[in-house]
Amino acid sequence: MSNDADDLFLIEARQLAESLEAGLLDMKSRPEDRTLVDSVFRDLHTLKGSGAMFGHTALATFLHDFETAFDAVREGRFAVTAALIDLGLRACDHAVTLLEGGEAAPGQALLAELTALISGGDAPAAAPAEEGAAPEEGAGSGDWQMAFRLAADCLVLGARPQVLLDELRALGATDLNPDFDALPTLIDLEPDRLYIGWRLRLPGHVTEAEIREVFLFNEEDLRLELTREPAGPPPEVEAATAPPAAGPVAMAAAPTPPAAPPRERTMMRVPAERLDEMMNRVGELVIAEARLAELVARTGDAQLVAVAEEIQRLATGMRETTMSIRMTPIDSITSRFRRLIHDLNGALGKSILFEVEGEETELDKTVIELLADPLMHLIRNSADHGLELPEVRRAAGKPEAGTIRLSARYSGAEVVITLADDGRGLDVGRIRARAEERGLVAPEAELDEQATLALILQPGFSTAETVTELSGRGVGMDVVKRTVEQLRGTIEVESVPGQGTRIHMRLPLTLAIIDGLLVEIAGERYTIPLAAVEHIIELPEEHAKRGDGSRFLNIRDQLVPFLRMRELLGSEGPPAPFQKVVVATAGELRVGLTVDRIIGSSQTVIKQLSPLHSTLKTFSGATVLGDGSVALILDVPQLVAFGQIRDSMEAA
């Protein structure tokens, strides 16, 4: 087996394990949902079969008994219980451990618990056989003669006939021979179509249900013939699809009607490294396209202008397509949080509800990956420190079950992710006292409530009285802050005593390419993310003087703070005679940025600043312009925050 094939199996297996875990958690609230039961069974069956095919024998052996148990649930012979779901989740964890090369021994204890549970009387009584019902297929009958042929286009859709043959061999198949009757002449042969069928014999103890199970994912356009060999009396034929008929019976899907809807789109798995490389190449293409446009503008040649515009259109389309490939909905990581809440319910003795809003909100895959651990820290803290015990909540007039809510929404060029709980909230006085104890704040320092709450994001800060397995060691919140800042985002803490805490994280949609507004300040060029630009106005004459101390503009009957970027950047020389104000937004807040000249919009490839310059909060990165020079990218959220802080200080 090639390394690539094994790596692909591991990726698919982990995704199957995640799907299995999500299905089990859904079954906890909807145990009667047959669709969920079928989905869990399919995931178990596929993971077991794939594991056997790729040499993970221990995995396949371990999952076999769990597959049998959920098959009993699917057939109504055993009820879905909390104990079964808990065992299933632990089995899912052990399956992931086996995939990573862990020991198989712990699985024996799980299998013993499963055996005890199944034999413990929780199962509903089996329904009595209906009068006239057919007996079990394998009861005293002869062997099966079997022939099957898959859909001609099954290879294109990802089917693997060798996997089916291996499963049939595991059932005891013998006399396995190919059937070449449908093989066309060489000139008519299409390499991506399957023309071969197979004939074989199966032992009589194998049931028809077990045979159907092998073809669970290949039923479309399947041709399957089953014939019982005589066990004494004349031959009797059992059809896989009613009604029975003389001779071999075809178990096939109904012919596709002429107006049948098209099949689902074929999905392809691509390693993340290839997407990253593709994004880098597209970024270089955008820079080259900008350089070409710059050169063509100097020549003025009409034919070159037409070609440059066509290349620009193609580059823009490729950029948008590549960006859409990289975008991932936030629900790709929420399943692990649901599992965490399930485990915390038992570990903390609390009743916790987990709600998600805006699961379809998409972010760059890199942002999603880096965001998973910080959110895990926040959820643990909310569950351990934020939410009260049921009796405490009841005494306070709250529902016994506490709620942790994760929400995501778009806000201009950003995504705002909020984690909120309805717990006890944060004690501002206690936070201040602990900060003074640790030397983070001088006793005489004046801090408003927002600045005090932000102290919980400092390294090593904790107000927990005791250290638990979950939290209280002063690690976690600083990791959250560091990760959010690494992603060029901001974090804000809000809390109301007795009502709960909300933590807002503002993150950029992407870390690669954006549309930017190119401006000039004191002869230097800077880029402002175009999605953050609300509108552009000319700086009123009464504010244009350098010594003017005004800090607000009246824009559409609203006062908007503005920053004189020349002063902020320490630029020398007189300003341009007709300065412009770019009104930029970050969430609900706005700020005006005065610039000397608006150059125009352009595609901006974001390059990270060097470690020497990474501490400069005014800039979020840099980009290469068409003439090869570098323009710094202004960090709008930081500038908005600076404007708000300055205005609040002046008001005080």
Q: Is residue 397 part of a domain?
A: yes
pLDDT of residue 526: 92
Question: Where a domain ends, among 304, 328, 352?
Answer: 328
Tell me whether the omega of the peptide bond preceding residue 399 falls within 30 degrees of 0, making it cis: no
- 302 and 337 belong to one structural domain: no
Instruction: Note whether 597 and 584 are same-domain residues.
Output: yes
- The last residue of a domain, from among 449, 479, 508: 508
pLDDT of residue 650: 54
Q: Do residues 338 and 437 share a domain?
A: yes
Residue 277 lies in a domain: yes
Contacts of 484 (CB under 8 A, 6+ apart): 374, 490, 491, 505, 507
Is 445 contained in some domain? Answer: yes
pLDDT at position 32 is 83
Q: Can you say how many angstroms the Cα of residue 578 is from the centroid of all Cα atoms in its chain?
A: 48
Say if residue 355 is in the same domain as residue 441: yes
Task: Kindly state whether residue 556 falls inside one of the protein's structural domains.
Answer: yes
pTM over 0.85: no
Q: Mapping DSSP to helix (H, G, I), strand (E, B) and coil, where does residue 471 land? A: coil
Say what the pLDDT of residue 143 is: 85
Residue 132's pLDDT is 38
- Same domain for 203 and 151: yes
Tally the domains of the chain: 5
Is the same domain home to 349 and 473?
A: yes
Determine, yes or no, domain membership for 370: yes
In degrees rounded to 5, what are phi and psi of residue 637? -55, -40
Range of the domain at 60: 3-118
**Residues of the chain under the 70 pLDDT cut:** 1-5, 120-141, 231-269, 412-413, 460, 462-476, 511, 545-550, 587, 614-615, 643-652
- For helices 82-99 and 3-29, give the axis angle rounded to 10 degrees: 170
Claim to verify: residue 303 and residue 231 sit in the same structural domain: no
pLDDT at 295: 87
583 shares a domain with 615: yes
Last residue of a domain, one of 284, 310, 328: 328
CATH number, domain of 304, equals 1.10.287
Is residue 532 domain-resident? yes
pLDDT at 471: 53
Same domain, 341 and 486: yes
Q: Judge if 169 and 282 occupy the same domain.
A: no
Could you tell me if 562 and 597 lie in one domain? yes
CATH number of the domain encompassing residue 582: 2.30.30.40
Crossing angle (nearest 10°) for helices 3-29 and 331-348 = 60
Residues 353 and 480 both lie in one domain: yes
Helix (H) or strand (E) holding 148: strand 144-149
Terminal Cα distance for the chain, rounded = 71
Residue 191, domain CATH: 3.30.70
- The answer as to whether 266 is a domain residue is no
pLDDT at site 354: 92
CATH number at residue 364: 3.30.565.10
pLDDT at 625: 83
- Between CA 634 and CA 644 the distance in angstroms is 17
In a domain, 136, yes or no: no
